[in-house]
A and B are shown apart, each in its own frame.
Chain A
């Protein structure tokens, strides 16, 4: 920033001259600066150059969700420039970029993260305000230049037009003059009826880079003098190095160093292949520790015992479930078992770090720059100001890259290797076997129905792993009774059905298998359980599963979910005939601000194999910035959830993950891809997220269709064809 700074007193906007000329609008996302220690910083900005080019710097990262596009569209809309005039630049780490959704977490200084389907919801308005403020100042500067009233001027397509005379001034010509003005206190944002760009499908900036190999992901990052490392990790979670012999690794051509770090032994070499050969040649003896005794089948047996405890940490309690269960006309009970899941982003974990003694620089595909910096600061003792993080493009995120292990490890390796820049590359096997898994759980459900078949009681006890046991910056949010809000998310935080007596509780049991955030988090498993069990109740009552749900969604807080359900039933032709052997299942769930309902059309072959033919989805997440990318997000969320429902199973044997790569941890492939129809409902409701709400409904919609096809209820994921054979 140059010396000229005109800061509005009451807002978080300020204007100034950009280095190299032009207008720079800086803004602070409300709350972020308050949460951060020290004075507010203004380092998130929109710049209008004297050539009229607009540069938008964002702290949010791009992992395929097109957030860079969506935010640039918001800037272009308010600024009145063509979308293609806006250049998006990935910003570094800065408290000004702190995600206000998480400002409650003051212990970590407010933080910068891209997750929880939160970007547009949270930074959308501040970004629009920056655009609107810049437009206001450019109009004022142009009016001064033309010596006319600014009330007679309008902005359009990067120009200020004096309407009575038709005279025009380009933004670039008044960018310097505008920089001397005071930013408006409260720039007026456009009304939705005035939107030219918001709500229209707009192509991404970076698609051309993704079709010719020039897009740079973390794994593609290169730096002079950079070495590559591959790490030998204990196959058992929590295991430690007992002893190691580096000699066989050092004999491999290209291997430079072998160093011990927290995660194991790193082999540092000239290139990946040498590092990997060195790693494979290394002799390491491990102290496997206590987790070596953990096996998945025993874990579920243990959890089944724990579930019998009289009490647990309560998340939702209304009425008297005990009495209602005892007094119902009919009682239904079921157990649902949910497996651990890995994320398997297409780009395996990696990070490049350069430890320079008094500072450290990191280049990484990360969703969570602030958390990375927090842990790197803890590791190195360096102040956060000495830590620079450059986020690259992410080859998928899905919550895996909210963790900091890969970034911290790269810093450790760089430091141990003598302060040279090192890229640590994880093989796919490491990626699968050293993840933070979607928590497995054992779920005991019971319900009572009245004489009309309607539920009077609903009890859901969840026993299982907890993310917050592992996510230590969140550790203080784990309640003393062991309640982890992420474990009951989608089961007890938003309960849409009108049932008078409800109890949702949780027993936290840490088996030593790391747990983490997986697209839609608790909703991904609890949505499956809720929407399967409600289907069970409908069938027990002898009622249509769509109408049964509908009847129970009468409370005002459930109106948007009912709206989505109604629309999906209509669009899918619920109740209309289907080809022989094809059956429908329905499900609806709220997650991360989005109400999503889906109908799946499924057939089950004689050998039990499941084919999903078509999925119809309705999403109501309020107003939409870019419909095309919303459609992609919902389709993507469906594929992610469908992959898990059909195949996703991480099993533990002697403390080790049994799966290792895409051959035994299978992804959905093109030949299995259903037709997907996405209907976007743009209601008046509060804006919600887009990345995650599409995942929870797919597994129950498919399993409810399987029930319709076979009469067999899937209560344990993934779906096992051998249990569905005719």
Chain B
């Protein structure tokens, strides 16, 4: 049994210690918002936060994160009220939408550290997240919009 804390709740999970966190979230806890895209940390679809840091859950063994505070897309806000979620909706960002849990989680980690990211900051933080529908320009715009919203709200 491994104890992990996901979105504020502690779960004891009976899985092999080498199981990637991604599959514990999806198959054991039923949190399917976090997506499988590559299995080798090159597409970002599986991005979650561990203690606020963006982490690719597809290559993160569950045993290594016991004790950490894990946040998934389902836990980013209770009611889709995170500025990025609002900006994503307002900007009609997703097409197929599959990569966007990961996109939003990477962007949320960026905004938490950098309240006014430049385009270069966005490139650096978001280049690990692939979107095959090509939503990149809207993603960039929505991150800027969310940053503005946060500033106004502060």
Contacts and interface: CB of A to CB of B under 8 A. Distances in A.
A272 B23 contact: yes
Contacts of A638: 134
A396 B94 contact: no
B134 A662 contact: no
B35 interface: yes
Most buried by B among A212, A217, A393, A427: A212
Interface residues of B, number: 60
Interface in A634-657: 635-640, 643
A427 B39 contact: yes
Contact of A662 (B42, B74, B136, B138): B42
B57 interface: no
B99 A346 contact: yes
A667 B132 contact: yes
A165 interface: no
Interface in B25-61: 26-28, 30-40, 42-43, 45
A639 B136 contact: yes
A637 B134 CA distance: 8
A575 interface: no
B74 A636 contact: no
B76 interface: yes
Interface in A644-684: 661-663, 667-671, 673, 675-676
Chain B contact residues, majority secondary structure: loop
B31 A676 contact: no
A273 B20 CA distance: 8
A380 interface: no
B137 A395 contact: no
A663 B98 contact: no
A425 B104 CA distance: 25
Q: For this complex, into which size category does the number of interface residues on chain A fall?
A: 35 or more
A556 interface: no
Given A663-B40, A670-B123, A670-B127, A207 B30 contact: no
A668 B132 CA distance: 8
A640 B134 contact: yes
A663 B129 CA distance: 12
B6 interface: no
B133 A636 contact: yes
A212 B80 contact: yes
A220 B31 CA distance: 9
Contacts of A669: 127, 129-130, 136
Contact of A347 (B35, B93, B138, B140): B35
A635 B134 contact: yes
A208 B89 contact: yes
Interface string B103-133: 0100000000000000000111011011111
A253 B16 contact: yes
Contacts of B38: 428, 661-662
B10 interface: no
Contact of B43 (A217, A277, A346, A396): A346
A211 B126 contact: no
A662 B130 contact: yes
Given A639-B134, A670-B127, A428 B39 contact: yes
A632 interface: yes
Contact of A207 (B35, B94, B122): B94
A174 interface: no
Contacts of B140: 670, 673
Nearest to B86: A211
Contacts of B104: 211
B114 to A, nearest CB: 16
A348 B99 CA distance: 12
B42 A663 contact: yes
Nearest to A63: B96
A637 B140 CA distance: 18
A224 interface: no
A222 interface: yes
Contacts of A64: 94-97, 133
A644 to B, nearest CB: 11
B77 to A, nearest CB: 8
A197 to B, nearest CB: 16
A428 B37 CA distance: 7
Interface of A: 63-66, 203-204, 206-217, 219-220, 222, 228, 253, 271-274, 277, 344-348, 393-398, 425, 427-429, 628-629, 632, 635-640, 643, 661-663, 667-671, 673, 675-676
19 contacts: A66-B95, A207-B93, A209-B97, A210-B88, A212-B74, A212-B76, A272-B36, A346-B35, A346-B37, A346-B98, A346-B132, A347-B35, A396-B133, A636-B133, A662-B130, A669-B136, A670-B126, A673-B134, A673-B140
Given A213-B34, A219-B32, A667-B43, 4 more contacts: A213-B33, A636-B134, A662-B37, A670-B139
Q: Which 5 A-B pairs have the closest CB atoms?
A: A213-B33, A639-B134, A395-B98, A64-B96, A210-B97
Interface of B: 15-16, 19-20, 23, 26-28, 30-40, 42-43, 45, 72-74, 76-77, 80, 84-85, 88-89, 92-101, 104, 122-124, 126-127, 129-140
